[in-house]
């Protein structure tokens, strides 16, 4: 066994020398059989091999493979992006937006935004600035804060989303009805159901929209910022009671569902939390959302009187890592106004 092991060691350490090869050359044919040297190569030469895999790979490589002339033309065209129908278009295609704030500084930065790859901004102006008094509309303020910005943006290929800021509700309008101090949530600290609320917002939009409708830089209107609302006043309570009566028809049916003992719908108050029972609380939240949606629809419809195709939206919030009460929950689907 020791002898066998030593033999193995000797073999493993021995240098391997390949056998000598002769100087002979491999035979090369005088011509190949696929093509004649004088013949023209087919334009789609790869199809001659009848390989589906090769055809697929070649087609993928050719897709979007631009010539130098095409590359140069597209680089030139990149400098010719324009605002068309309220949106950026380039080479018959829409351009994706990248935007920037802050509201004040962004107005000053409009001439340089394209240099940073930015092509949309949001600015804001609300009824408090446009309606300084019950009988006065400040058209000059609208021109200075909105129209001038739109003109500057159009000259520099920047689109503008305008936030009409209902949260800047005029103080003189709030002072006219105590309900405004009882209702609201978040930014919107006034009553959307007070008799003077919709007329004030309509007056504001009637002053604003004729000056900006159809402007080439106007991309869209933001109806409200981070919308939250809770109604608590007598106006809201009466509307809620009418809503319940329409839904359940009789107080007996409502009591059966809610597990309550109301003698009439006029006894039902706006639920502040679920201590009244989840059924009634849920309906209170749903009523609140429907009325809030109706307020946004009113704003949308007023805007579309002047510019029917102008996109509008509400900038909703989401709290991914915070506990959120259902009373604060805003359903994005119902705000697709």
pLDDT of 199 reads: 97
More confident position, 91 or 128: 128
Assign 239 a pLDDT band (cuts: 50, 70, 90).
very high
pLDDT of 76 reads: 54
18-65 pLDDT per residue, tens: 566 555 665 666 665 555 555 666 777 778 778 887 777 767 766 656
Token output for 127: 């009824």
Provide the percentage of residues in the chain whose pLDDT is more than 90: 50
Average pLDDT over residues 267-288: 91
pLDDT of 21 reads: 58
- Is residue 213 within 8 A of residue 307, CB to CB? The reply is yes
pLDDT of 202 reads: 97
CB atoms within 10 A of CB 250: 10
Burial 261-275 (b: 16+ CB within 10 A, else e): ebeebeebebbeebe
Q: How many helices (H) and strands (E) does the chain have?
A: 12, 8
C-alpha radius of gyration, the chain, whole number: 36
Q: Could you tell me where in the chain the CATH 3.20.20.80 domains are found?
A: 95-335
More confident position, 114 or 17: 114
pLDDT of 56 reads: 77
Q: What's domain 95-335's superfamily in CATH?
A: Glycosidases (3.20.20.80)
- Is residue 143 within 8 A of residue 102, CB to CB? The reply is no
pLDDT for 313 beyond 80? yes
Whole-number mean pLDDT of the chain?
Answer: 80
pLDDT for 203 beyond 60? yes
Assign 262 a pLDDT band (cuts: 50, 70, 90).
very high
């Amino acid at each position: 066994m020791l002898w066998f092991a030593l033999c193995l060691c000797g073999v493993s350490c021995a240098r391997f020398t390949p056998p000598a090869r002769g100087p002979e050359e491999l035979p090369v044919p005088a011509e190949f059989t696929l093509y004649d040297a004088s013949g023209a190569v087919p334009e789609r030469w790869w199809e001659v091999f009848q390989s589906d895999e090769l055809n697929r790979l070649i087609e993928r490589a050719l897709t979007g493979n631009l010539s130098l002339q095409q590359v140069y033309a597209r680089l030139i065209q990149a400098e010719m992006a324009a605002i068309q129908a309220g949106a950026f278009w380039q080479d018959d295609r829409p351009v994706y937006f990248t935007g920037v704030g802050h509201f004040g500084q962004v107005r000053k930065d409009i001439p340089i935004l394209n240099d940073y790859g930015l092509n949309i901004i949001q600015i804001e102006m609300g009824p408090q600035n446009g309606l300084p008094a019950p009988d006065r509309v400040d058209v000059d303020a609208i021109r200075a804060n909105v129209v001038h910005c739109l003109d500057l943006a159009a000259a520099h290929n920047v689109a503008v989303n305008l936030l009409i800021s209902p949260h800047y509700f005029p103080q003189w309008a709030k002072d006219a009805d105590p309900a405004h101090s009882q209702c609201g949530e978040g930014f919107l600290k006034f009553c959307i159901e007070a008799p003077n609320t919709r007329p004030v917002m309509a007056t504001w939009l009637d002053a604003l929209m004729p000056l900006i409708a159809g402007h080439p830089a106007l991309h869209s209107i933001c109806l409200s910022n981070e919308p939250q609302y809770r109604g608590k006043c007598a106006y809201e309570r009466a509307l809620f009671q009418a809503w319940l009566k329409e839904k359940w028809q009789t107080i007996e049916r409502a009591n059966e569902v809610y597990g309550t003992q109301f003698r009439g719908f006029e006894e039902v108050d706006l639920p502040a939390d679920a201590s009244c029972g989840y059924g009634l609380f849920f309906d209170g939240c749903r009523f609140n959302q429907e009325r809030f949606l109706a307020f946004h629809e009113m704003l949308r419809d007023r805007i579309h009187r002047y510019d029917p195709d102008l996109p509008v939206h509400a900038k909703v919030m989401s709290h991914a890592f915070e506990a959120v009460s259902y009373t604060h929950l805003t359903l994005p689907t119902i705000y697709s106004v």
